[in-house]
Amino acid sequence: MTAPTVPVIVHRAEEYHSAGEVFGQMSTDSVTTHSSLVAVLMAYAGMAGSDSVGAQWAAGYDEAAQLAISTSSRLATACGQTRDLILVGAHNHQVAEISADRRNLPPPPPPPLSWDPCLPETAPSAAGDGIPEPFGWSFIKDAVGLGWPNGHQDQLNAVKTAWHTAAADYRTIAGLTPRAVELLTNQQSPEIEIAVSTCQERQADFTALADACQALGDSCGEYATHLDDAHHKILAELKDFAIETAAAEAAFAVLIPFTGSLSEWVGNSALAGRIAMRARRIATIITELAAKVAKIVVGALKPLAERLKPLLEKVRKWVEAARTKLSPHRGGPPAPKKGPATSAAEREQLIQELESQGIKFDRDKIVQIGRDSDGKVVFLEQGNSRAGLQHILSHGDDFANKGIPENEVSELVMKPRPKVKR
């Protein structure tokens, strides 16, 4: 009879633990990169403008940017969870070793696990008000038949830099993975193969996200270049139109004493002809810009969004599965309190957390701040007739009919709602 084989276990506690902390550092770095990127995107929301060309580009960009930001947020969480899973594995080995020790030693304390960073997952739209119309546009816009392309190329270039910086950061973060793999492969245990595979999967995810950020930055840069070129051409046409018109008006004004109303009629006809000619040229410039934008959207942004969708879904499912695995091991500090802040210190802490995430707000106009049912920081500003507390209070009769006094409305709005399973 063959004796049963027992797997050989080699546990190097310090190296096993260090492998986990590599992913702890990756999580910290990815949180910093994510927050910095979102801050720039928030600062330059609406950079593409409100004209038809800008709206066309923004529609393609917004979808891909939203997927990239959501993936970035989930990957920061996934790194923290990978760290926790590795530390739990190391702790299990320590417990087993002490249990086998005949000296009856006390078990080691469980490792403190990380909490989800609760990063913003919404990318602001690139569509917005844009820059003002240039001088002379009002005289010619009806004849052009197309809107002034009011995107802001300087803002587009700033966002390009932010995406490219994030891409470089994510590649650096991905480059930390081999160190964790090296430390894990110094162990010998059945779970190591899965742990190594998980680490390598995170590396591939960060590399894919870096590629996406690079592509989004490229898209911003391309649109900025085409927009800048179109602006220069249109402004040149408007300048020439103004010079020609001023010269012609002066000439016809000199002739009026001799030719009477005939000079005025001829002058107006000539002006109409110049407007029509310049309008055709400007319309051609804008049409060419639209064609270049369509090429960016169809050739780069739409395919990018399709590549990001399965990446986000894969990371999302992994995060949910890891959360389930880690739930029995949860220890350390208590989960953040949900609901409105109940003290000045808690309010200040939540405001500082918002600032660290790059979220735009006016701290002096915050009426209520707290955490929702997912633990994310939410706040209510004084606002105006269209948004915020003032808008809510415009429906005061509805609250009064339900027996809710006006001074309790803001607190009611901030109370976390229970999740509804669908």
The reply to whether 276 falls in a domain is: no
Q: CA 390 to CA 395: how far, in whole Å? A: 9
Other beta carbons within 10 angstroms of residue 103's beta carbon come to 5
Is 174 among the domain residues?
A: yes
| Nearest-angstrom CA–CA distance, 24 and 81 | 9
Instruction: Judge if 122 and 25 occupy the same domain.
Output: yes
pLDDT in tens, the chain (422 residues): 455 554 555 556 677 788 899 999 999 999 999 999 999 999 999 999 999 999 999 999 999 999 999 999 999 999 999 999 989 888 776 777 677 666 676 777 888 888 888 888 889 999 998 899 888 888 888 888 888 999 999 999 999 999 999 999 999 999 999 999 999 888 777 788 889 999 999 999 999 999 999 999 999 999 999 999 999 999 988 887 776 665 444 443 443 444 444 344 344 455 566 778 888 899 999 999 999 999 999 999 999 999 999 999 999 999 999 988 888 876 544 556 667 777 777 777 778 777 776 677 777 777 778 787 667 777 777 766 555 555 555 655 655 666 666 656 555 555 555 444 44
Distance (Å, whole) CA 47 – CA 160: 11
Question: What per-residue confidence (pLDDT) applies to 337?
Answer: 65
Identify which of 124, 121, 178 has the alpha carbon closest to the alpha carbon of residue 316. Answer: 121
Q: Is the domain of 81 the same as that of 200?
A: yes
Assigned domain for 324 exists: yes
86 in the same domain as 188:
yes
The pair of structure tokens assigned to 164 is 């490219």
Q: Are 30 and 79 in contact (CB under 8 A)?
A: yes
Listed residues 329, 347, 379: the one ending a domain: 329
Kindly state whether residues 384 and 304 are assigned to the same domain: no
Check: CB of residue 64 under 8 Å from CB of residue 217: no
Indicate the residue among 311, 329, 347 that finishes a domain. 329
The answer on 360 and 303 residing in a single domain is no
Q: Which two tokens stand for residue 299?
A: 């050739």
Q: Which residues pair with 127 in a beta bridge?
A: 49
Would you state the pLDDT for residue 252?
Answer: 39
Q: Is 310 found in the same domain as 377?
A: no
For residues 100 and 165, membership in a common domain is answered with yes
Contacts of residue 384, defined as CB under 8 A and 6 or more positions apart, other chains included, come to 390, 391
Enter the DSSP assignment of 189. Answer: S
Specify the pLDDT at position 141: 81
Q: Are residues 325 and 343 in the same domain?
A: no
Beta bridge partners of 377: 371
Burial string for 39-74 (b: 16+ CB within 10 Å, else e) reads bbbbebbbbbbbbebbbbbbbbbbbbbbbbbbbbbb
Distances from the Cα of 310 to the Cα of 296, 317, 335, angstroms: 22, 11, 30
**b vs e for 239-251, b when ≥16 Cβ sit within 10 Å of the residue's Cβ?**
eebeeebeeeeee
SS3 95: helix
Is 126 within the bounds of a domain?
yes
State CA 62 to chain mean position distance.
9
Asked whether residue 370 falls in the same domain as residue 308, the answer is no
Neighbours of 218 (CB within 10 A): 17
Q: Within this chain, do residues 49 and 102 fall inside the same structural domain, yes or no? A: yes
421 within some domain = no
Q: Is residue 191 part of a domain?
A: yes
User: Which of 273, 308, 329 marks a domain boundary?
Assistant: 329
What is residue 120's three-state secondary structure?
A: coil
Residues 98 and 190 in one domain: yes
pLDDT at residue 336 in the model: 62
Does any domain span residue 88? Answer: yes
Look up the domain containing 405 and give its range.
Answer: 339-414
What's the total number of domains in the chain? Answer: 2
Residues 125 and 224 placed together within one structural domain of the fold: yes
Residue 186 forms part of a structural domain: yes
